[in-house]
A = this chain, B = another copy of it.
């Protein structure tokens, strides 16, 4: 291929080298490379051959400079790291995004912005033109980072609706409300009447919507809404355990728990068993997400399947749309109930 003089730092061929080699102008080479305009078959062939002979690949920075596009997308994490990395959901989403981006010849830049210093660095980086767009993993509506990015005009797609930014930021969410409703209706169908819930943070759409679905189900079946049966967590196992602790003292008569995440459900399971309640005998438990966790808890969790691979794919699709200038859009992917031993079919 390229004759390498030993000891000499190997110099990459440029578009002009290829042009000289092919006996055409460098503009023609560029045309062949990008499939633009009309180029004669003969020229195409000789350029192709010259490229093969020289081992030419385009310099990505020069291209980015000229086109104004970088070909990379940031995958932005704003949560304290442990929450995200311990969460199998997160892995699925990351893998899905990497896949979807790679399919479109885009690359994934991973950014972690949990400390204040990291956050301001992230804003500078993201609004500095390094990336074409941002995939936002777990948006809290009040986050100033959001406002700064929106202000800088960076294309964003969030995982989950962003409260207060519905018209500005595209998002992809599970059908949280109806998923939660079907989970709770499953419990009602099994004869439960004193159903508690451990829901997510009130500043995240997922938390709000899943709580709403819980309430929908209760009212639709004439059951009372008892605020002492509602607790908030931060999606983590620990917060689920803590919430369950509180619920047990505040509403000891509960006969079912709907947790807005599998991790919180797992925490709840542990506390219930420690308190001597049999699952599902005394208390039925349903989670949300159908993460890797759900099948391995004891007993395995009945849960609402949240198709995160699908979500990741849609996020990337939407982001390329936003970059192309289309208006923001929020879309929803359907969920489905997965029945396991923690709340078997009635």
Tell me whether A112 and B99 are in contact (CB under 8 A): yes
Tell me whether A129 and B95 are in contact (CB under 8 A): no
A76 → chain B, closest Cβ, in Å?
12
Rounded to whole angstroms, the CA-CA distance of A88 and B85 in the bound complex is 8
Minimal Cβ-Cβ distance residue in B for A9 = B153
A337 → chain B, closest Cβ, in Å?
24
Supposing A57-B124, A65-B59, A153-B10 touch, asked if A108 and B109 sit within 8 A by C-beta, the answer is: yes
Tell me whether A130 and B107 are in contact (CB under 8 A): yes
Contacts of A109 in B (CB 8 A): 72, 107-110
Contacts of A95 in B (CB 8 A): 81, 85, 112
Rounded to whole angstroms, the CA-CA distance of A221 and B81 in the bound complex is 44
Rounded to whole angstroms, the CA-CA distance of A114 and B10 in the bound complex is 29
Contacts of A125 in B (CB 8 A): 107
A311 → chain B, closest Cβ, in Å?
16
A21 → chain B, closest Cβ, in Å?
19
Minimal Cβ-Cβ distance residue in B for A111 = B107
Contacts of A12 in B (CB 8 A): 129
Minimal Cβ-Cβ distance residue in B for A124 = B57
Rounded to whole angstroms, the CA-CA distance of A94 and B95 in the bound complex is 13
Contacts of A85 in B (CB 8 A): 91-92, 94-95
Rounded to whole angstroms, the CA-CA distance of A94 and B81 in the bound complex is 11
CB within 8 Å of B: which A130-162 residues: 130, 153
Tell me whether B121 and A112 are in contact (CB under 8 A): no
For residue A60, CB closer than 8 A to chain B, the reply is yes
Minimal Cβ-Cβ distance residue in B for A121 = B102
CB within 8 Å of B: which A64-103 residues: 64-65, 70, 72, 75, 81, 85-86, 88, 91-92, 94-95, 98-99, 102
